[in-house]
Structure 1
Amino acid sequence: MKKQKYLFKKLKAIEVKKGKTISQLLKEMEKTGFQGRKLGEVVEVFEKMIRDKNTTIFFGFAGSMSTTGQWKLVKWLMEKRYIDVLVPTGANISEDIQDTLHGYYQGHWLVNDEELWKLKIFRYYDVFTDGRKYRKMTELIKKFALSLKENYPYSTREFCWLFGKFLAERKIDSLLATAYKKKVYVFCPALVDSEYGVALILAIRKHKKHIILDQTKDFYEITLIGEKSKKTGAVFIGGGVPKDFIQMVAAEKGVIKGETLDYPHHYAIQITTDSPQWGGLSGATFEEAISWGKEARKGKNVQCYCDATIALPLICHALAERVDFERKPPAFLKNLFDEPA
């Protein structure tokens, strides 16, 4: 056995140089080790995904990242069409609205939470927001819900499209308003696990208006995008339901096509703080996903174990320096669905 099998790619130490760009720094980090190396590789793969004209890009946005201001980074990615399909948590597409309308405040994680409750201040680790104003955001969602048709099964794509239109018409800066204007499809499979659920319950209890969300229709529509795509790429910020929903697009395509391994995501990157040994999907490795046909055996797959509030700003600014052009989405997406009424 020859040493050259292992000792062929030499590590290169980072040197401090004045005027170095974020893109240059991440290029240098890519030549180091540990998670710094992985973060550099994530940017490299994301750039390749963007430049690949045959790839449909799915973007999973988990957790409660909008409370920390991360939503404007995702907004920029949609404006550049570096996202074709956004799969967020309900929190991330409601708490951005709270930021626009009422704002968040830097706080502390060691605080009297009982006192906060009495003052109606809600806490997200070290971020505070006014709870009474938060409920005004809930009322805004309810107002929109009351404009919808009863006895019609909406997919969350239809719901989010219409709400994005509602927000855009009122000039409320948000992810859904941006998605509507840029024609990015948004699916939120756990929509009611957020303030949307509260708003829809209020619509029933106070106004006798029952809005139907059809999860099967949701899955049918997003898998239709997967089936019609020449290639797919997946970006996961966190894990959770958004990650698995996007992973299931590849798994379903394989089942429909006859249980082959020929339809996985060609690209996959993830920023996560979850680890695989607990058996959960959020921390599941891409190597494990290969066994399900979700990732390609020879695909460009990179996972970086890092706080997303550190990684995502660096990734987006590096991309702005490397590929600052508006991407053309795959042509088939343009008229795939009729605009909901």
Structure 2
Amino acid sequence: MKQPNSKKGIAPIPVKQLKITPRISVSHLLDGMRDTGVLGAGRMGIAADVLHEMFSDPSYTNFLTIAGPIVPAGFRLVIGDMIDRGFLGAIVTTGANLTHDVVEAMGNRHYQGTFNVDDRRLIKQGYNRIADIFVKEESFERLDKKIRRLLATMPENERKKIPYSVLLEKIGLMLGDTESILYKAAKNNVRIFSPGLLDSILGLSLWSFASTQTLQPDPFADVTRMVEMSMTSKKLGILILGGGLPKHNALLSSVFREGMDLAVQITMDRPEPGGLSGAPLAESISWRKIRKGGRFVDVIGDVTICLPILYASVLEKVKSRNRPTC
């Protein structure tokens, strides 16, 4: 945000009034919101500018971190589009979103539901609930069987000391669903890291398989891969959806290079309780997770509302880019 204060005192910058016309584009709308310079509108406009720089400059290696039910909420193709257009170098996500990506890859679906439901009746009818999203419980039973079959086709020696990110790449390729985040990432050399993978149904399937057959993931290898990505990149950008473990994991990988250069965080969490998900990005400077001269913005809002608006704005200006090699 612009700093109106000077050593001589306050030097106010007038708020520019937003003008909306019948045929205004999304990018022009966000330009106008940015120019107001204040509150959520100003932050959304700045976020659009930061994302435009991240996604248009080929010298940026960009991390996308995902927490919350982004795939069940219907944003699977949006993430896939970011991969296809060369905007991402790595994704750091919860195991749950990967679980739901596999659910969709197998032909199962997520359904429009309601918050106002008796969950005791819902489970009797064979459904699990995520907020107002329903998903059939049998989808996860099918997932478990599918994952076990896929792992069994891998040569035993390839299942030893394997980074989780490599294992996820192999699973994505074996699934073969061209709309899958896992598949697209594998095909486009975008690494997927999931530090909390075992805390998911997909993780339970891996554990179940490992209890009877050879499967020896190496979690330290992923730390090495992430740090090497950060250290060998000319510039680093990050788009944080929601916060949580994925946010911290990606930011932590950048401390050896003094932090990220560009950052956008979209969250509904508050800073007062001291939790990471609500921590403003400015706090990250004290941890060397964002550079002192870095450009960053916190957008306080629902990811499922803010992300499509921001991404549509970016696509009006940037169609694709060559992914940096690192």
Q: Could you say whether these structures have the same fold, taking a TM-score greater than 0.5 normalized by the shorter chain as the test?
A: yes
In the TM superposition, residue 134 of structure 1 has moved relative to its aligned partner by 3.1
Tell me the CA shift for residue 8 of structure 1: 4.3
Contact 1:93 1:174 in 2 (8 A): no
Alpha-carbon distance in 2 for matches of 1:266, 1:142: 41
**Of 199, 202, 205, which residue of structure 2 is paired with 1:196?**
202
2 CA distance for matches of 1:270 and 1:109?
27
In the alignment, which residue of structure 2 is the partner of 1:10?
14
1:234 partner SS: strand
Aligned to 1:179, what secondary structure does the other structure show? helix
> Pick from 225, 229, 236: which aligns with 1:225?
229
Structure-to-structure mapping, 1:114-263, within 5 angstroms? 114-148=120-154, 149=156, 152-168=160-176, 171=177, 173-205=179-211, 208-251=212-255, 253-254=256-257, 263=258
Partner of 2:65: 60
Question: What are the Cα deviations for residues 267-322 of structure 1, in whole angstroms up to 9, with x where unaligned?
Answer: 11110111112111111122211111111122111110111000111111111111
What are the equivalent positions in structure 2 for 1:89-128 lying under 5 Å apart? 89-100=94-105, 101-128=107-134
| Worse-matched range after superposition: 123-132 or 90-99 | 90-99
Q: TM-score, normalised by structure 2?
A: 0.92
SS in structure 1 of the partner of residue 253 of structure 2: helix
Percent identity of the aligned residues? 27
* CA–CA separation in structure 2 for the residues paired with 1:7 and 1:102: 58
The 1-side partners of 2:122 and 2:291 are apart by 48
- SS in structure 2 of the partner of residue 276 of structure 1: coil
8 Å contact from structure 2 (residues 262, 295) kept in 1: yes
Pairwise mapping of residues 16-35 of structure 1 onto structure 2 (< 5 A)?
16-32=20-36, 33-35=38-40
1:336 is matched with none
CA distance in 2, matches of 1:88, 1:49: 19
Query: Which piece of structure 1 moves more, 55-64 or 301-310?
Result: 55-64
**CA distance change for structure 1 residues 6 and 97 in 2, over 3 Å: closer, same or farther?**
farther
For residue 102 of structure 2, give the secondary structure of its aligned residue in structure 1: helix
Structure 2 letter corresponding to 1:162 = K
* Correspondence for 2:81: 76
Task: Give the Å deviation of 1:91.
Answer: 1.2
Q: Choose which of 299, 315, 318 in structure 2 pairs with 1:304.
A: 299
The match for 1:257 is none
TM-aligned CA distance change 1:9 to 1:210, over 3 Å: farther
Whether the 8 Å CA contact 2:98–2:202 is kept in 1: the answer is no
Higher alpha-carbon deviation: 263-272 or 140-149: 140-149
Question: Is 2:169–2:192's contact at 8 Å kept on the other side of the alignment?
Answer: yes
Rounded Cα–Cα distance in structure 2 between residues aligned with 1:41 and 1:135: 44
Deviations 1:55-100 (A, max 9, x none): 2111111122100111211111111011111111111122123234
Q: May I ask how many residue pairs the two structures share in their alignment?
A: 318
* Aligned-partner residue type, residue 134 of structure 1: F
Residues 67, 99 of structure 1: 8 Å contact kept: no
> Quick one: structure 1 residues 2 and 266, their matched pair in 2 at CA, closer, same or farther if it must change by over 3 Å?
closer
Which segment drifts farther, 25-34 or 306-315? 25-34
Distance 1:330 1:26 in 2: 28
The question of whether the paired residues in 1 share the 8 Å contact of 2:178 and 2:184 is answered with no
TM-score w.r.t. the length of structure 1 is 0.88
Gaps in structure 2 of 5+ consecutive residues:
none
Residue 180 of structure 1 deviates from its aligned partner by 1.3
Query: RMSD of aligned C-alpha atoms?
Result: 1.9
Matched-pair contact (CA < 8 Å) for 1:71–1:92: no
Give a deviation string over 1:8-66, Cα, whole Å, max 9, x none: 43222223311111111111111232112211111110111122232211111112210
C-alpha distance 318-5 of structure 1, shift in aligned 2 (>3 A)? farther
Shift of 1:5: 5.4
Match of 1:339 in 2: none
2:249 match: secondary structure: helix
Structure 1 partner of 2:324: 330
